[in-house]
Amino acid sequence: MKKLLLLAAPLLLAQAPPPSLVNTSADDIAANAPGAHWLDINPDHIMVMDSAAGRMVIQLAPQFAPQHVAAIQKLVRAGRFDDGRIVRVQDNYVVQWAARPESGKEPVSQPPDVREQRVRPERLPAEYERPLADVAFTPSPFKDSYAEAGFVSGWQAARDTSTGTVWLAHCYGTVGVGRDMPPDTGDGAELYAVIGHGPRHLDRNIANVGRVLAGIEPHAALPRGTEALGFYKDERQRTRITRVRLASQIPGFPKWQMMDTASPSFAQVVQARANRTGFFVRQAGAADLCTLKVAVREVK
């Protein structure tokens, strides 16, 4: 007997729910949304990372962390992530990877006390939030434990009207920049992707620079590191990053799109995720920000 947890299947409830709850699934709504409800993703803002585990496609968010994204694009164009390493996998938290050190001669397998001697390439400002005034923020209709949840042109975000700022939320698949204790030291050469429950307490404490569009699965399934914070103990445990390029550098790379979170179709997706049918005998009537994923797609 193959038991399922979730089915986007015909309604099989003993009692039919009230008509307002009979809706199509979020996936169906996205699949049938008109082209005008989708936004093209600039291929300069897509980072394609090939590792021994597989290919991970990452969308960068220059509107939230312009200097970090520019630094990352520069590192990618210089080939600095080629022969990098996945250095840390912490369960229910992050997978983290590092570019080759600047000199090209100090492998990331060096112990931290040796690697700390190298000169840092640049120090970027703490791009943890940005002014709210000049972006269009679509509020989520549901309560949020942390702030006011919503969306900014295809991204899960949160705002604080008292500070007049908005920021990318930490959810499954969010990509951020590793940093040391002083808050301005992340340089984009060490990045992480969230592989657990959305750690929203990191919001406004770290520069979020993007999210995984595809290929997180084999990276989320890497063995957890056994050292403190999930760092790997030695070089042979690390997964090699073979090559990282921007989509704009790869001839014939497919176009990607994200749903326009200001569109009527996305508002329907939000309601469908809050009021699931089929398998569900009771609709939640709400959904938290990280559950309100924004559909993305490769355009064939």
- The interface with a copy of itself within residues 200-259 (CB under 8 A) comprises 200-206, 216-218, 220-224, 229, 231
Least separation in angstroms between CB 190 and a copy of itself = 5
Contact set for a copy of itself, span 60-89 (CB under 8 A): 87, 89
Q: Which is nearer to a copy of itself, 135 or 286 (CB)?
A: 286
Least separation in angstroms between CB 91 and a copy of itself = 4
Least separation in angstroms between CB 101 and a copy of itself = 8
Answer yes or no whether residue 55 interacts with a copy of itself by CB under 8 A.
Answer: no
CA atoms within 13 A on the CB side of 188: 26
Contact set for a copy of itself, span 8-27 (CB under 8 A): 9, 12, 14
Least separation in angstroms between CB 269 and a copy of itself = 14
Least separation in angstroms between CB 38 and a copy of itself = 23
**Structural contact between residues 46 and 213, judged by C-beta atoms closer than 8 angstroms:** yes
Length of the chain: 300
Among 126, 132, 214, 262, interactor with a copy of itself by CB under 8 A: 126
3-state class (DSSP) for residue 32: helix
Q: Which amino acid is at 69?
A: V
**Please, which residues have CB within 8 angstroms of residue 154's CB and are 6 or more apart in sequence?**
39, 258, 259, 260, 261, 294
Cα-only R_g, the chain = 20
What are the angstrom distances between the C-alpha of 30 and each of 97, 171, 274? 32, 20, 15
Strands 84-90 and 239-246 turn out to be antiparallel
Q: Which is nearer to a copy of itself, 78 or 250 (CB)?
A: 78
Which segment (32-40, 58-66, 75-83, 287-295) binds a copy of itself by CB under 8 A?
287-295
**Please, which residues have CB within 8 angstroms of residue 213's CB and are 6 or more apart in sequence?**
41, 46, 57, 58, 59, 256, 296
CA distance 141 to 119: 47
Nearest to 56 by CA among 235, 206, 195, 157: 195
Least separation in angstroms between CB 248 and a copy of itself = 28
Over the window 139 to 178, marking each residue x when it contacts a copy of itself by CB under 8 A and - when it does not, the resulting string is ---xxxxx------------------------xxx----x
Among 17, 43, 115, 153, interactor with a copy of itself by CB under 8 A: 115
| Strand (E) or helix (H) holding 75 | helix 66-77
CA distance 140 to 149: 5
Answer yes or no whether residue 127 interacts with a copy of itself by CB under 8 A.
Answer: no
Answer yes or no whether residue 198 interacts with a copy of itself by CB under 8 A.
Answer: yes
Answer yes or no whether residue 287 interacts with a copy of itself by CB under 8 A.
Answer: yes
Least separation in angstroms between CB 288 and a copy of itself = 4
Answer yes or no whether residue 273 interacts with a copy of itself by CB under 8 A.
Answer: yes
Least separation in angstroms between CB 35 and a copy of itself = 27
Q: Which is nearer to a copy of itself, 178 or 246 (CB)?
A: 178
Residue given tokens 């445990």 in the structure block: 237
